[in-house]
C-alpha cells in the first residue's frame, strides 16, 4: 500500500456519469486547502468538466488555450485561485475543444502542475479510455466513485477488474456515494458486487449538495458538521493512510500530521 507521504496525485474517476466525481473532487480539495495544504485541481473531464462551475469560477483561460499555444511551461497562467485556496486548471468551456487536447499534452501538464504543490487532484471523464488509463497509471491514488445502484456497481466492478489486470488495483479505493439507510443493497454485498474488499460510504445529502454546486461553495465549507463532510474527512484520513505509528503524540489532527510529513518534520 502506498505510504501517505508518497501520495501527491489523486485521481477521481468512475465507470458511469453522475455519481459524484465533481462533488468529491471539489470537497476533498477544499478539505485539504482548509488545513493550509497546497492543492491544485486539474479538470480532465475534457468535454463536460464542471470543476470551475462548482467553485463559482468564471475562467477567461482554460486548458484549451494552453493546448492551442502548446504552453506547458507557463501552465499556471491558465489556472485560477478559488477563495478556499484551491488552484484550478479548468476544462475547456465547450465539448468540441476536447479534441485539441492530446493525451501527451495532458500528461505533461499534470506533471508541471504537480511541481510546487502538495496535492494534485484530477477528475476524469466517466469511463475507461486511453487518457484515463494513462492518468491512472501516473496517479498515486485512484478513487473510483460509484452509487449503490446495480448498474453503477456492475460497471464499477468491470472497471476495477480492468484496473487489476493493469496492475493498478493496489492503489485503488472505491467510494460508494449517495448511500442511504434505505439503499436496497447492503454493505455486506458490496465486496462481491465491486471486487473490492473494503469500501468507503458517503451518505446521500438531500438537496443541500446540489445547492452547494449551484452556488459554487464547497459543501464541506458551508456544512462542515454534516454527515457527508465528516465521512469524507474520515475517508481522506483512511485513503491517505495515516500511519498511527508516525502520528504526532499531541492532539493534532491528521491534516496536521500530513503537513509535518510534507515538511519533513513528521515521523
Ligand atoms: N452525497 C450526495 N448526496 C446527494 N446528492 C449528491 C451527492 N453527491 C453528488 N450529488 C449530486 O449528484 C449530482 C451529480 O454529482 P456530480 O456532478 O458531482 O457527479 P459527476 O460524477 O461529476 O457527474 P458527471 O458525470 O456529470 O460529471 C449533482 O447534482 C450532485 O449535487
Ligand atoms: Mg463531474
How confident is the model over 31-45, as pLDDT tens digits?
Answer: 999 988 999 999 999
- Mean pLDDT, to the nearest integer, of 238-263? 51
Q: What's the pLDDT at 246? A: 35
pLDDT in tens, 193-213: 999 999 999 999 987 888 888
Going from the Cα of 225 to the center of ligand 2, the distance in angstroms, rounded, reads: 24
For ligand 1, atom 26, name the residue with the nearest CA: 18
Residue 47 pLDDT greater than 80, yes or no: yes
Cβ contacts of 202 within 8 Å, gap of 6 or more: 20, 24, 175, 176, 177, 178, 179, 228, 231, 232, 235
Fold classification of 4-259 is Rossmann fold (3.40.50)
Cα-to-centroid distance, 37 and ligand 1 (Å): 25
Share of the chain above pLDDT 90, in %: 78
Give the domain ranges of the chain. 4-259
Nearest residue (by CA) to ligand 1, atom 15, is 20
- How far does the centroid of ligand 2 lie from the alpha carbon of residue 39, in Å? 18
CB within 6 Å of ligand 1 — which residues? 14, 17-23, 45, 48, 50, 126, 177-178, 202, 204-205, 209-210, 213, 228
Name the grid cell of 113. Answer: 502542475
CB atoms within 10 A of CB 34: 18
- Return the ligand number nearest the Cα of 143: 1
pLDDT number for residue 260: 55
Q: Largest Cα–Cα distance of the chain, in whole Å?
A: 53
Percent of the chain with pLDDT over 70: 88
CA of 120 to the centre of ligand 2 (A): 17
Start-end of H helices in the chain? 21-34, 51-54, 63-68, 103-114, 130-138, 150-165, 190-194, 208-215, 219-222, 227-239, 254-262
The 10s digit of each residue's pLDDT in 123-140 is: 999 999 999 999 999 999
Strand partners for 174: 144, 199
Say if residue 133 is exposed, middle or buried (CB neighbours under 10 Å; 0-12, 13-18, 19+): middle
Taking CA atoms only, the protein residue closest to ligand 1 atom 10 is: 20
pLDDT tens profile 139-197: 999 999 999 999 999 999 999 999 999 999 999 999 999 999 888 888 999 999 999 99
Q: Say what the pLDDT of residue 203 is.
A: 95
Query: Is the pLDDT reported for residue 266 higher than 50?
Result: no
234 CA from centroid of ligand 1 (Å): 20
Dihedral sign of CA atoms 202, 140, 241, 230 in order: negative
Residue 3 has pLDDT above 70, yes or no: no
Residues in the chain: 267
| Ligand number, closest to the Cα atom of 177 | 1
Amino acid at each position: 500500500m502506498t505510504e501517505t507521504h508518497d501520495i501527491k496525485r489523486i485521481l477521481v474517476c468512475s465507470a458511469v456519469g453522475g455519481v459524484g466525481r465533481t462533488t468529491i473532487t471539489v470537497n476533498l480539495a477544499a478539505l485539504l486547502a482548509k488545513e493550509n495544504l497546497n492543492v491544485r485541481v486539474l479538470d480532465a473531464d475534457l468535454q463536460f468538466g464542471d470543476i470551475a462551475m462548482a467553485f463559482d469560477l468564471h475562467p477567461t483561460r482554460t486548458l484549451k488555450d494552453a493546448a492551442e499555444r502548446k504552453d506547458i511551461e507557463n501552465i499556471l497562467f491558465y489556472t485560477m485561485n478559488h477563495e478556499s485556496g484551491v488552484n484550478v486548471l479548468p476544462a475547456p468551456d465547450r465539448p468540441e475543444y476536447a479534441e485539441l487536447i492530446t493525451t501527451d499534452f495532458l500528461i505533461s501538464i499534470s506533471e508541471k502542475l504537480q511541481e510546487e504543490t502538495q496535492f494534485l487532484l484530477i477528475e476524469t471523464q466517466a469511463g475507461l479510455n486511453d487518457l484515463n488509463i494513462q492518468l491512472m497509471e501516473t496517479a498515486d491514488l485512484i478513487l473510483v466513485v460509484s452509487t449503490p445502484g446495480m448498474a453503477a456497481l456492475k460497471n464499477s466492478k468491470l472497471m476495477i477488474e480492468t484496473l487489476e489486470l493493469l496492475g493498478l488495483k493496489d492503489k485503488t479505493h472505491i467510494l460508494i456515494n449517495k448511500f442511504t439507510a434505505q439503499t436496497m443493497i447492503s454493505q455486506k454485498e458490496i465486496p462481491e458486487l465491486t471486487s473490492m474488499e473494503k469500501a468507503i460510504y458517503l451518505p446521500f445529502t438531500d438537496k443541500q449538495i446540489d445547492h452547494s454546486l449551484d452556488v459554487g461553495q464547497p459543501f464541506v465549507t458551508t456544512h462542515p458538521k454534516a454527515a457527508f463532510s465528516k465521512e469524507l474527512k474520515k475517508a481522506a484520513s483512511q485513503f491517505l493512510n495515516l500511519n498511527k505509528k508516525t502520528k504526532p503524540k499531541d492532539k493534532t489532527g491528521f491534516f496536521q500530521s500530513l503537513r509535518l510529513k510534507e515538511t519533513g518534520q513528521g515521523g
